[in-house]
């Protein structure tokens, strides 16, 4: 029987734990985790994400700042806001919602964030710590994937993990996390991408298959082996005959592979729900680390 890895339940469990720990941190250290989010422009998808993050902060008892500026704001204005938050002791996490308008250098903005407050885990300092196995903020989606494997007690040590996708947000960091000599990692990892003439050669070898490319229903049952664990990071909108005129699907054809997989994440309700939970976890971790230095 195929196990459904329920991201909704897991994210709710994590948020319940964080709410309890936050109340304790406030009571014992008078430190309230603070998250500041900057949105440049009015991209509808970005607005949805920003609103979700703000809602999560309020739910957990965090200090929350959302700053929205126009799409034609200058790079200097963005950097100035980030610098102010770097200096603000009430802010433990800084997030600049991506993508940014083309006239603003994303890497310049990311590297301007204090690494200790980089709760997205994108700063080169945190990326470097991830690669060599040091403690630092992890990118939220890969962090969520590892937490899923851990909380469902899925064996990873010595298993062949195949990652489809090489983005800086998911593919590269989850590859680095999965081969670390740590619990719920220690896998033999293959990363494949558009350079492969036939990715199924690799995906059919996977004990654990992690797919993050943004191509609807790319992976079919003939692309996986019996008993594979499937982690589907894709969130794609496709036309569909319903009231909305579309539905959300993953990079894996869920219905097609379901019976063949031993465990699988649904879309929606899987990895996506974990991303915001782990952002909240990173923010709490940042506040907690500060409390230990006082």
87 is catalytic: no
State whether 94 and 157 are in the same domain: no
State whether 68 and 184 are in the same domain: no
pLDDT in the model for residue 239: 85
CA Rg value for the chain: 19
118 is catalytic: no
Domain of 215: which CATH number?
3.40.50.720
Handedness of CA 112, 116, 118, 121 (dihedral sign): positive
pLDDT in the model for residue 244: 84
Choose the catalytic residue: 97, 223, 251, 260: 97
State whether 260 and 177 are in the same domain: yes
State whether 219 and 151 are in the same domain: yes
Residue with tokens 């196990």: 3
Per-residue pLDDT of the chain (294 residues; tens, 9 = 90+): 999 999 999 999 999 999 999 999 999 999 999 999 999 998 888 899 999 999 999 999 999 999 999 999 999 999 999 999 999 999 999 999 999 999 999 999 999 999 999 999 999 999 999 999 999 999 999 999 999 999 999 999 999 999 999 999 999 999 999 999 999 999 999 999 989 999 999 999 999 999 999 999 999 999 999 999 999 999 998 888 888 888 999 999 999 999 999 999 999 999 999 999 999 999 999 999 999 987
Say how far apart CA 155 and CA 157 lie, in whole Å.
6
Choose the catalytic residue: 6, 114, 118, 120: 120
State whether 97 and 182 are in the same domain: no
84 is catalytic: no
The string of DSSP codes covering 79-109 is HHHHHHHHH-TT--EEEEPSSPPTTS-HHHH
* Counted domains in the chain: 2
Task: Answer yes or no: are the C-beta atoms of 113 and 86 closer than 8 Å.
Answer: yes
pLDDT in the model for residue 135: 93
What does pTM read for this prediction? 0.95
Choose the catalytic residue: 6, 15, 39, 53: 53
State whether 146 and 105 are in the same domain: no
Task: Answer yes or no: are the C-beta atoms of 25 and 31 closer than 8 Å.
Answer: yes
State whether 89 and 152 are in the same domain: no
CA geometry: angle 14, 30, 284, nearest 5 deg: 25
State whether 73 and 190 are in the same domain: no
213 domain-assigned: yes
Instruction: Tell me which residue range forms the domain holding 257.
Output: 140-272
162 Cβ partners below 8 Å, 6+ apart?
A: 189, 190, 191, 192, 202, 203, 205, 206, 208, 209, 210
288 domain-assigned: no
239 domain-assigned: yes
Lookup: tokens for 103: 């006239």
pLDDT in the model for residue 43: 87
State whether 155 and 250 are in the same domain: yes
State whether 106 and 153 are in the same domain: no
State whether 106 and 148 are in the same domain: no
Say how far apart CA 214 and CA 3 lie, in whole Å.
24
């Amino acid at each position: 029987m195929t196990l459904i890895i329920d991201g909704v339940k897991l994210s709710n469990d994590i948020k319940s734990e964080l709410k309890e720990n936050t109340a304790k941190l406030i009571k014992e250290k008078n430190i309230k985790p603070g998250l500041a989010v900057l949105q440049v422009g009015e991209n509808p998808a970005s607005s949805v994400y920003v609103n979700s993050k703000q809602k999560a902060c309020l739910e957990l008892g965090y200090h929350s700042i959302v700053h929205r500026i126009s799409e034609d704001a200058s790079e200097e204005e963005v950097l100035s806001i980030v610098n102010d938050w770097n200096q603000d002791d009430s802010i433990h996490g800084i997030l600049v919602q991506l993508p940014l308008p083309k006239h603003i250098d994303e890497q310049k903005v990311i590297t301007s964030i204090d690494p200790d407050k980089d709760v997205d885990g994108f700063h080169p300092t945190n990326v470097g710590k991830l690669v060599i196995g040091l403690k630092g903020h992890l990118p939220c989606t890969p962090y969520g994937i590892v937490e899923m494997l851990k909380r469902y007690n899925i064996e990873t040590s010595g298993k062949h993990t195949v990652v489809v996708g090489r983005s800086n947000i998911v593919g590269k960091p989850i590859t680095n996390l999965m081969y670390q000599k740590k619990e719920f990692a220690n896998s033999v990892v293959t990363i494949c991408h558009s350079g492969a003439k036939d990715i199924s050669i690799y995906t059919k070898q996977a004990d654990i298959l992690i797919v993050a490319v943004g191509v609807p229903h790319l992976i079919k049952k003939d692309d996986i082996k019996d008993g594979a664990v499937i982690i589907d990071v894709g969130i794609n909108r496709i036309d569909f005959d319903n009231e909305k005129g579309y539905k959300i699907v993953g990079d894996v054809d869920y219905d097609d592979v379901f019976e063949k997989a031993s465990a699988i994440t649904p879309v929606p309700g899987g990895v996506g729900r974990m991303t915001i939970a782990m952002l909240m976890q990173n923010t709490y971790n940042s506040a907690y680390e500060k409390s230990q230095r006082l």
